[in-house]
Amino acid sequence: MTDFYPSRHAAKPEMLPRRDPVFHGTHDASSPLSRAQSEKFERDGYIVLQNIFDADEVRLLQAEAKIIMANPAALDLYTIVTEPGSDEIRSVFRIHDQSPLMSRLVRDERLAGVARYLLDDDVYIHQSRLNYKPGFRGKEFYWHSDFETWHVEDGMPRMRALSMSILLEPNTANNGPLMVMPGSHLKYVTCVGETPDDHYLTSLKKQEYGVPDDAALRDLAEVNGIDAPLGKPGTVVIFDCNLMHGSNGNITPFPRSNAFIVYNAVSNKLQDPYGAKKPRPTFIASREVKPLHIVSGALTEPVL
């Protein structure tokens, strides 16, 4: 199988062209996004949707996130990632399998329908997680393209996936919000260094391989600057799988929290990893390709 996006092989980093569309479909009157939104996603690699959930739905999601975080014993232990050097929970993976409400959320037409439209294919969940960046001592996430890791470590062949972050706390300029480099998704920044075995055990806390070089980051940031999409709880940030993104630490007392969903096109199913001996565990990168059954209507308390 041809490797269109080689990385972690060469001694020097390179900036390669993207070989896949960003917006895979075509816009028409029945599309779930406007033409301007579709074009912005294609050009900048991200869009922000405000007010797609009503206040009751947002409260429901926030309450569910608190319940999940407060009851680690109810979770599969291996799906929990803590802050470096502490027991504070940083992420819980595979939330769509561990919470009926989150299972309903990932199938929601307002999210999954948009993913299907942008990727022009049926979609499935490559990864889901709940992220929590605590106040006072929240650590940074350094710059990275998710696709580089998904390709090298998980075997995702092409750029036909996207992420959605559903904010559960206010994202302000000051509490370490997601930062993106608009337009960076059109280049593929290769990284140096071989991937160590079981890299995921440390990379989810602090990444040391699959890290882009300073010169590439400076080039990308100088072309189009850096955006930090902000918003109140319920805001949805949708971004392409190859968009360079990261976040500063957070010394403010105000934590950040979001539900994070990665949709992949069913035609883009995982192969053997392109730069690791064995694929990462399925709680980080699902290998089961089952087209999502998309559901419409308001989110409500699931009946158990």
Residues that bind a copy of itself (CB under 8 A): 135-136, 140, 142-143, 172-174, 176, 179, 214, 217-218, 221-222, 226, 228, 246-254
Supply 266's token pair.
């069913």
| Residues sharing a CB contact under 8 Å with residue 69, sequence separation 6 or more, in sequence order | 89, 92, 130, 132
Question: What is the C-alpha to C-alpha distance for residues 65 and 257, in angstroms, rounded to an integer?
Answer: 8
Q: How far is the CB of 171 from a copy of itself (least distance, A)?
A: 12
Supply the minimum distance, in Å, between the C-beta of residue 215 and a copy of itself. Answer: 9
Surface-to-core class of residue 170, CB atoms within 10 Å of its CB (0-12 exposed, 13-18 middle, 19+ buried): middle
- CA separation for the pair 197, 141 (Å, rounded): 21
- Among 7, 20, 14, 80, which Cα is nearest to 264's? 20
Instruction: For 212, list phi and psi in degrees, rounded to 5.
Output: -70, 155
Q: How many CB atoms lie within 10 A of CB 136?
A: 11
CB of 179 to a copy of itself, least distance (A): 6
Tell me how far, at minimum, the Cβ of 217 lies from a copy of itself, in Å: 5
d(CA 79, CA 65): 15
What distance in Å separates the CA atoms of residue 178 and residue 77, rounded to the nearest whole number? Answer: 27
Query: How far apart, in whole angstroms, are the C-alpha atoms of residue 237 and residue 37?
Result: 12
To the nearest whole angstrom, how small is the minimum distance from the Cβ of residue 137 to a copy of itself?
9
Nearer to a copy of itself by Cβ, of 177 and 273: the residue is 177
Q: Please identify, using beta-carbon distances, which residue of 221 and 289 lies nearer to a copy of itself.
A: 221
Distance CA 146, CA 243 (A): 7
To the nearest whole angstrom, how small is the minimum distance from the Cβ of residue 207 to a copy of itself? 12
Nearer to a copy of itself, 52 or 230 (CB): 230
Closest distance to a copy of itself from the beta carbon of 163 (Å)? 19
Residue with smaller CB distance to a copy of itself, 76 or 214: 214
Q: Which is nearer to a copy of itself, 32 or 135 (CB)?
A: 135
State which residue, 254 or 260, has the beta carbon closest to a copy of itself: 254
Where is 259: in which H helix or E strand? strand 256-265
19/218 with CB nearer a copy of itself: 218
Q: Which residues contact 277 (CB under 8 A, 6 or more apart)?
A: 197
Residue 191 · residue 256 · CB < 8 Å? no
CB of 211 to a copy of itself, least distance (A): 10
Nearer to a copy of itself, 59 or 137 (CB): 137
Instruction: Report the candidate in 250, 276, 91 with the shortest Cα–Cα distance to residue 165.
Output: 91
C-alpha span between 213 and 143 (Å, rounded)? 10
